[in-house]
């Protein structure tokens, strides 16, 4: 019989008069609009039902104990060790958040916590943001810091940027925190204006396929892409007046293509960001008009841009999208998240789900030697405390 998470917590930390509280933050999938967030653009994510559960209990000692059911590494830290980093391990995500709190004001106690996640690790579904946001939400509640949810989101992003070292935008943390069930959000990552859009998909379902091709963002070309888009903006800003690359219009980019003659790769990066901004708008409009076929076309277009102009795809991701395009009942498919591995997101008719999984799974293994995992997902709720 599988041991409950509570039993595992008590087995690790022992009994106490203090209550054990439970919090949950979901992962997220971005339906369209990738690599636009750190360029001030639009994104369209929803939360998924998979995520990170955190059990936490206050202690009188000024020490922080962190453990996970998913990884062996544990940490026991004093308050003055809160800025210690552990190589490239998972524990840096909660430690980065803890550092954000301690930098504001010392906590008036310690805590014991146990994380347990079922988001595919390295799948591009924001397992890191789920850890960060659930940590921030729990510490805020445990120590009655009274910070609002948006501030917790910003602290979580800073933890990943400044402590972990990945220069991500705010999309992942925002989506994990503010998601609503059965909705996706059109989020402007510059202004943080957000509109919750009902995901009315009729007979179609969202299916994620994990390539099981691992990638580590801090060791990948992610930060390189951030730098390249900043350089592209420096070239375009004087003639466009744009303060963010996503605010450059397609007409402005076309008019000033010659400015990239010596750096053609920067033109490709800018082309993706500018065109992806337009695709998000068109995708949301298609969804409002119940035009799922058009939504699916835009998903395919987005993948082609990420593959050819932004160059963040991989052979495994391309294979899955190519196979999906040739499978009956599929309206759209694209890589989701940062790329370089991870998952694709697919829009599949419910009557074709079994055929979709079997045919693509078999063909993918034959072509790549990798075994894909399939997840049918339901748009889920954001971070919250669980009451039993």
Catalytic residue annotation: 172
List Cβ neighbours of 238 (8 Å cut-off, separation of 6 or more). none
CA-closest candidate to residue 47, choices 115, 133, 152, 137: 133
Q: What residue has token string 């750096």?
A: 263
Residue 94: which H helix or E strand, with range? helix 92-104
List, in sequence order, every beta strand (DSSP E) within the chain: 21-30, 42-43, 45-59, 63-68, 75-78, 110-117, 183-188, 194-198, 204-210, 330-336, 343-349, 373-377, 384-386
| Contact of 379 with 181, CB cutoff 8 Å | yes
DSSP 256-320: TGGGGTT-HHHHHHHHHHHHHHHHHHHHHHHHHTT-HHHHHHHHHHHHHHHHHTS----HHHHHH
């Amino acid at each position: 019989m599988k041991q409950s998470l509570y039993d595992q917590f008590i087995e690790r930390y022992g009994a106490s008069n203090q209550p054990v509280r439970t919090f949950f933050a979901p992962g997220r999938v971005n339906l369209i609009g990738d690599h636009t967030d750190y360029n001030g653009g639009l994104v369209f994510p929803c939360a998924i039902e998979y995520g990170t559960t955190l059990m936490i209990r206050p202690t009188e000692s000024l020490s922080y104990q962190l453990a996970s059911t998913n990884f062996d590494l544990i940490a026991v830290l004093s308050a003055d060790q809160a800025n210690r980093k552990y190589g490239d391990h998972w524990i840096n995500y909660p430690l980065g958040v803890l550092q954000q709190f301690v930098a504001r004001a010392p906590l008036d106690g310690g805590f014991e916590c146990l994380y347990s996640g079922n988001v595919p690790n390295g799948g591009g579904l924001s397992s890191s943001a789920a850890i960060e946001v659930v940590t921030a939400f729990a510490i805020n509640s445990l120590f009655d810091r009274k910070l609002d949810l948006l501030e917790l989101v910003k602290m979580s992003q800073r933890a990943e940027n400044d402590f972990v070292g990945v220069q991500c935008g705010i999309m992942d943390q925002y989506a994990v925190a503010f998601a609503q069930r059965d909705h996706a959000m059109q989020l402007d990552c510059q202004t943080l204006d957000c509109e919750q859009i009902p995901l009315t998909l009729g007979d179609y379902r969202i299916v994620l396929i994990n390539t099981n091709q691992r990638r580590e963002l801090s060791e990948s070309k992610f930060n390189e892409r951030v730098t390249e888009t900043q350089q592209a903006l420096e070239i375009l800003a004087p003639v466009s007046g744009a303060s963010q690359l996503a605010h450059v219009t397609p007409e402005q980019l076309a008019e000033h293509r010659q400015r990239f003659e010596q750096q053609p790769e920067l033109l490709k990066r800018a082309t993706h960001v500018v065109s992806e901004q337009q695709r998000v708008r068109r995708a949301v409009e298609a969804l409002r008009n119940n035009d799922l076929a058009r939504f699916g076309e835009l998903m395919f277009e987005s993948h082609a841009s990420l593959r050819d102009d932004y160059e963040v795809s991989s052979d495994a991701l391309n294979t899955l999208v190519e196979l999906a395009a040739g499978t009956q009942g599929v309206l759209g498919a694209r890589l989701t998240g940062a790329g370089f591995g991870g998952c694709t997101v697919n829009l599949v008719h419910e009557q074709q789900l079994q055929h979709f999984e079997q045919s693509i799974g078999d063909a993918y293994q034959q072509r790549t030697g990798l075994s894909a995992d399939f997840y049918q997902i339901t748009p889920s709720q954001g971070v919250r405390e669980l009451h039993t």
